[in-house]
Structure 1
């Protein structure tokens, strides 16, 4: 029946858990129903658990925080929905041991999503919970791929004066679990993705039928790249941004950094000031004091 949304809240809750992989009770409340009492979110999650769609673990080292995740049945059901097709997570998303071992990183990614989501709500921008898509696979040849922590779809509101521009971003959340050099090594992978043209057996490109870069099949513009830094203090953040800048310097002959904004900011700054504030450091800018909003129009692609 048109106009009936029976189970709409349950559907969103299961969709978010399936797409985000996991979330705490508080995070789920902030994502799906921030305007109601958190007890309603707890009851909803308990009901979904009774229906074998979601389950939970408890993290004793985090004040006995409950972390919710989808069951295999929940993933199977949600993956059939039109808004979820093509984004099915791995099987380990429903394994309690895997959830426990991945909780530190994945919950930080979810907290990053919430920073953008709550900022969009404040500004009247269009960014819904399912517009944050973790771990989208992008091949770059030789069996390798770029898999960002999340792909972000974001439309600015009319108050921004740019007719509601659509923005896309690859988001990399770094918790300082790897050295700065390994973090910077992600830049060449994105540069490879920017210029990667898949080989088509038996086909030669012509002026009338050129072979285009793989990413153009998905995006009208290459998404900007956002590095969100956590797990370290101000000095550690500076070290990691310096490493990213050094890595960017090695890509100098490429058009990638000329055409695509690559920005870095600490998660602490996003939470304190908001993602739309001028807290982002362009990794290709030699000025260490330069800070911009991530929504700045920096694309020069054609």
Structure 2
């Protein structure tokens, strides 16, 4: 394609240049979410809306309405067009993704889950700003593929673990900086809890997965092999399950059910290096990540924070 097709990007205002990679990476984002991400210093997103409409006029972004009935004025949900995606990919600001959202998928039943993933990342990002930590709008990526082959399964081909998002959070303390990586799993109480329980098994598999040697090379034992996660992360990411979409009582029962499923799963029990906790989106937004809002998946159910540090033994 001719270079002239990519020329609108430099002519965008600074906010527009920030919006394109954010919309590309997060796929579908509400106006209010964009406001909290990129212009939280303004009381109302007047300028944000104007820039979005300018970008829409340039054919870089498009919008749809929200499927669920809401009180008050309807809210626009924004996504990049193929032209906008091409500009982002040429800039190499974010990871190139094969997935493309279109007006049909933007208006589909996947809407609410996509927005809930954005909302969970945004809750952590907003608290990072408040606490003096670091977690920006591009510090969580949805649906990154992790390949897992279960060496104990003679039938299965390579299996895929796809978290709802992988989030990176830098905690700044008087004693130094700490890089935290999380697998985020967002549960809107719309699926059977057993399905989420089965995904816990996949996370446990990934934490111990050692890739098979290349064809033609002599196989090595799992004891001396190198786990796949070491090529991507400094440590096994913590798993944070965020519940939403139902009453507090329903979400509490779901938490208890997940703990029971984990306790009954020998693979999960045998993988202590996978630190896993459960919280709700409301608690994450209202109390912050370093309040005692997270119920550990295994062991003592005493709430802790997202560091998932076991309580000290008295």
Please, which of 145, 169, 182 is the counterpart of residue 154 of structure 1? Answer: 169
CA distance in 1, matches of 2:63, 2:12: 25
Please, which of 83, 96, 103 is the counterpart of residue 73 of structure 1? Answer: 83
Asked if 1:50 corresponds to 2:57, the answer is yes
State whether residues 187 and 243 of structure 2, in contact with CA within 8 Å, keep that contact through their aligned partners in structure 1: yes
Partner of residue 291, structure 1: 303
- When the two structures are aligned, how many residues end up with a matched partner? 287
Look up the SS of the partner of 1:292 in the other structure.
Answer: coil
The offset of 1:211, in angstroms, is 3.4
The offset of 1:68, in angstroms, is 0.6
CA distance in 1, matches of 2:125, 2:164: 16
Look up the SS of the partner of 2:201 in the other structure.
Answer: helix
CA distance in 1, matches of 2:78, 2:267: 46
State whether residues 183 and 240 of structure 1, in contact with CA within 8 Å, keep that contact through their aligned partners in structure 2: no
CA distance in 2, matches of 1:12, 1:35: 15
Partner of residue 31, structure 2: 25
CA-atom RMSD, angstroms?
2.3
Q: 1:5 to 1:193 in 2, by over 3 A?
A: farther
CA distance in 2, matches of 1:119, 1:256: 33
The offset of 1:258, in angstroms, is 1.4
CA distance in 1, matches of 2:275, 2:291: 16
Asked if 1:88 corresponds to 2:97, the answer is yes
Structure 2 length as normaliser, TM-score? 0.85
State whether residues 29 and 77 of structure 2, in contact with CA within 8 Å, keep that contact through their aligned partners in structure 1: yes
Structure 1 length as normaliser, TM-score? 0.88
CA distance in 1, matches of 2:298, 2:15: 43
Q: 1:254 to 1:279 in 2, by over 3 A?
A: closer
CA distance in 2, matches of 1:239, 1:202: 50
CA distance in 2, matches of 1:12, 1:204: 49
Asked if 1:277 corresponds to 2:284, the answer is no
CA distance in 1, matches of 2:267, 2:40: 47
CA distance in 1, matches of 2:309, 2:41: 32
Please, which of 189, 196, 219 is the counterpart of residue 209 of structure 2? Answer: 196
Structure 2: which 5+ residue stretches go unaligned? Answer: 1-9, 150-156
Look up the SS of the partner of 1:156 in the other structure.
Answer: strand
CA distance in 2, matches of 1:285, 1:225: 15
Structure 1: which 5+ residue stretches go unaligned? Answer: none
The offset of 1:80, in angstroms, is 2.6
CA distance in 2, matches of 1:253, 1:188: 7
